[in-house]
Structure 1
């Protein structure tokens, strides 16, 4: 069981780690979108030789957009987690101060008046913890959603290789696009996995 100080430190580190990983996911998603635009231009130049590749570029672009939208939503939850961690830390500090004052004031006149303030601080701290847990659960669900376009991108990359093989002199250019999409999808998968691991650490520390 972690002390409150260590627990909050762990939460701060985890939330900061998630923010960094999400930033990387966003950059990769933008790269996928750029790759889709480049592929579309190549497929247009290739004409009939890359006819089957042209609709794939639209799918790639849609996946990139979907990922960017999901990450934007996730970033909002990550920001809420950070704010709740700060708030809970402050409430915990307030509880400790009230408890020390209550101990020192034991038997003194009006000592009972401290009880209400201490109960309020404890209640607010518990409210923060409940909200934090709820946001963690929602964030885990959203991270699972990001995995879907990543998996779809890998399937599309495989189909892209097949279609690129029939593109004649444009083969290497379109193969490069397929490889970049596949690589980007793997990076997104890894980054999201790290985010989920960081959240698991928070849950373990609770």
Structure 2
């Protein structure tokens, strides 16, 4: 029989994984906006000519790390769907193992012992699969964190270059502000997701 605490655990796990996936949408949206911003900034820099000469390489960097973030986020989305399935599988295996433990306690037989051992193996396999998925997910999020560190550096550099762009200074300054804002939004989402992954590790032990 499934206990109330098991039911609560199932809901908590699904909510956490669902929130991770929801945050991925926010990250992906910001990364796509960064890519669009890079294209717009490139047009402005071309119009500014020599006044924005130092800004042109920056637009390439913006484009590069935004595309990297989009690629990382897409991989994470696929992995998160896998995580959802594995988490569900582990919960079911844990529930079955709990039932077999009770059966083995009340019925001392070879069949009950065999069912208990099989349930234990299934639980351990599911736990191992989940551990691998969580580790891979963490690695991707850490990659995005590094990309956002680069974004923050570029935001600072682009502000300096924007001041030398004459009449186009305000337009390029707004690009710098958006980069800083998007990087902050993405970093916040990543930190939250890493925290949720850490909690998942504890809940699903």
TM-score w.r.t. the length of structure 1 is 0.89
Contact 2:6-2:95 within 8 A present in 1 as well: no
**2 CA distance for matches of 1:161 and 1:116?**
68
Structure 1 match to 2:196? 198
Q: What is the aligned length?
A: 201
Q: What is the CA-CA distance between 1:66 and the residue it aligns to?
A: 0.5
Q: Do residues 83 (structure 1) and 81 (structure 2) align?
A: no
Q: Deviations over 1:131-163 (max 9, x none)?
A: 212221222222111111101011111111111
**2 CA distance for matches of 1:131 and 1:7?**
19
Contact 2:34-2:182 within 8 A present in 1 as well: yes
**2 CA distance for matches of 1:159 and 1:29?**
19
Contact 1:4-1:92 within 8 A present in 2 as well: no
Q: Deviations over 1:51-105 (max 9, x none)?
A: 111111011000100111111222222122111111112223333444555566x
TM-score w.r.t. the length of structure 2 is 0.89
**2 CA distance for matches of 1:10 and 1:167?**
52
Deviates more, 1:187-196 or 1:139-148: 139-148
- Which of residues 17, 26, 41 in structure 1 aligns to 2:43? 41
Contact 2:141-2:190 within 8 A present in 1 as well: yes
Q: Higher RCO, 1 or 2 (CA under 8 Å, sep at least 6)?
A: 1
**2 CA distance for matches of 1:33 and 1:154?**
15
Structure 1 match to 2:159? 161
Contact 1:164-1:175 within 8 A present in 2 as well: yes
Q: Deviations over 1:4-30 (max 9, x none)?
A: 444433322221111111111010000
- SS of 1:166 mapped into structure 2: coil
**1 CA distance for matches of 2:87 and 2:28?**
24
The 1:182/1:15 distance shift into structure 2, 3 A limit, reads same
Structure 2 match to 1:123? 121
Question: Which segments of 5 or more consecutive residues in structure 1 lack a partner in the other structure?
Answer: none
Structure 2 match to 1:177? 175
**1 CA distance for matches of 2:6 and 2:65?**
41
Structure 2 match to 1:56? 58
- SS of 1:53 mapped into structure 2: helix
Deviates more, 1:60-69 or 1:47-56: 47-56
**1 CA distance for matches of 2:18 and 2:113?**
36
**2 CA distance for matches of 1:155 and 1:96?**
52
Question: Which segments of 5 or more consecutive residues in structure 2 lack a partner in the other structure?
Answer: none
**2 CA distance for matches of 1:159 and 1:101?**
66
